[in-house]
């Protein structure tokens, strides 16, 4: 079946975008990447999402994350829509956004990546693109995917939080607990022995006592 699973390598597709033609792997380079799809241009929820994504673009850039959107309309439509998105943000209504938008008018890429929403269709009865988020690591492999229906807008602050967790846990032997935010304590991964944990985390490892007597809830301040 079409679509991507965690650990799959991103397809090295070519596409026309609002910033010219790209080859996806070249676009990503050595950066992390976020590909997020939208059902259609000039639609209300999508406009608010892209507006928020544009506002948060500097935060993603600080984290070495390249952003790219996809919608099933043409580049000229994307450019005209970008004016509305900037106006929604209270900015000058120019055609440029901080990231490119892929033109997938024939839905070829949406089908290949498993992005279509079977329940939402356009006036011609064609399925619309769902609200998919793919996050790729510098190795071009899929680290996270989130799938929303066309009727539910995404939380881009949550996507930023997820990036912080993915980047931290990619390089440190920790996991992030429920509702974690950057700067909060993290959890030591269960596979790490206590003695090794003490060496790796000089700020201390703190274990919560539980009725089972098992010592698996091990916390440590977020490592640098």
**What does the pLDDT look like over 169-213, one tens digit per residue?**
999 999 999 999 999 999 999 999 999 999 999 999 999 999 999
Q: Do 196 and 91 belong together in one domain?
A: no
| 89: in domain | yes
Average pLDDT over residues 89-114: 92
Q: Do 212 and 120 belong together in one domain?
A: no
Q: How many helices (H) and strands (E) does the chain have?
A: 6, 13
Q: Do 178 and 202 belong together in one domain?
A: yes
Q: Do 145 and 187 belong together in one domain?
A: no
Going edge to edge, which strands form the sheet with 186-188? 174-175, 186-188, 218-220, 206-207
Helix boundaries (H) for the chain = 24-28, 44-62, 75-88, 108-112, 156-171, 194-200
**pLDDT tens-digit readout, 20-60:** 999 999 999 999 999 999 888 999 999 999 999 999 999 99
User: Does this model's pTM top 0.85?
Assistant: yes
| 166: in domain | no
For residues 71, 27, 135, 149, the Cα torsion angle rounded to the nearest 10 degrees is 0
Q: Are strands 218-220 and 206-207 parallel, antiparallel or unpaired?
A: antiparallel
In three-state secondary structure terms, 202 is coil
Q: Which two tokens stand for residue 2?
A: 């079409």
Q: How many domains does the chain have?
A: 2
- Containing structural domain, residue 87: 6-157
- Residue 90's domain is classified under what CATH number? 3.40.30.10
| 52: in domain | yes
Encode burial over 44-78: b for 16+ CB neighbours within 10 A, e otherwise: ebbbbbbbbbbebbeebeeeebbbbbbbbbebebb
| 1: in domain | no
Give the catalytic positions in this structure.
Answer: 46
**pLDDT tens-digit readout, 141-152:** 999 999 888 889
User: CA 203, CA 122: separation in Å to the nearest integer?
Assistant: 55
Structure-token match 């846990």, residue found: 169
| 85: in domain | yes
Structure-token match 């241009």, residue found: 41
Residues ≥6 apart with Cβ < 8 Å to 160 = 56, 59, 60, 63
């Amino acid at each position: 079946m079409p679509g991507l699973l965690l650990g799959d390598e991103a397809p090295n597709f070519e596409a026309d975008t609002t910033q010219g033609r790209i080859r996806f792997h070249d676009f990503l380079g050595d950066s992390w990447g976020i590909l997020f799809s939208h059902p259609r241009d000039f639609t209300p929820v999508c406009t608010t999402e892209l507006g928020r994504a544009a506002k948060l673009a500097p935060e993603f850039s600080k984290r070495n994350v390249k952003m790219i959107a996809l919608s099933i309309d043409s580049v000229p439509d994307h450019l005209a829509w970008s004016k509305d998105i900037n106006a929604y943000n209270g900015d000058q209504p120019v055609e440029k956004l901080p990231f490119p938008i892929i033109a997938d008018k024939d839905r070829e890429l949406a089908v290949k990546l498993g992005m279509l929403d079977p329940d939402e269709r356009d006036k011609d009865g064609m399925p619309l693109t769902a609200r998919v988020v793919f996050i790729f690591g510098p190795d071009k492999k899929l680290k996270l995917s989130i799938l929303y229906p066309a009727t539910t807008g995404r939380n881009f602050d949550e996507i930023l939080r997820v990036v912080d967790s993915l980047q931290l846990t990619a390089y440190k032997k920790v996991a992030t607990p429920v509702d974690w935010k950057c700067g909060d304590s993290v959890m030591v991964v269960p596979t790490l022995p206590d003695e090794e944990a003490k060496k790796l985390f000089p700020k201390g490892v703190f274990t919560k006592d539980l009725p089972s007597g098992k010592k698996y809830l091990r916390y440590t301040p977020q490592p640098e």
